[in-house]
Amino acid sequence: MSDCQNCLLGLRPGISAEIRHFGSIDPALKRRLTDLGISVGSNITIKRYCPCGGPLMLECSGQLFGIRQKEAAEIKVAVS
């Protein structure tokens, strides 16, 4: 995957973590995540990586959604 430490992209499927910081993701994406109830302090679980550099499937508060790997690399987390 990626060599990033403490970022969402660095986690394996099935691992849960708490969001600590959104980093430099696009403000529109940050707003969309916030609209979905996903914010700093939320617990998030990696469900799966899509092949060939595709999006990550994530779960937070019972919702499944996908984000690009580039954006996942910017989201800093702490494993819970």
Tokens of 6: 């403490």
**Using CA atoms, how far apart are residues 26 and 11, in angstroms rounded to an integer?**
21
Q: Which top CATH class is 8-79?
A: mainly beta
Please indicate, yes or no, whether the overall pTM of this predicted structure exceeds 0.75. Answer: yes
Residue 20 near residue 44 (C-beta atoms within 8 A): no
pLDDT greater than 70 at residue 3: no
* Structural domain boundaries in the chain: 8-79
**Mind listing the pLDDT tens digit for each residue in 20-59?**
999 899 999 999 999 988 999 999 999 999 888 899 999 9
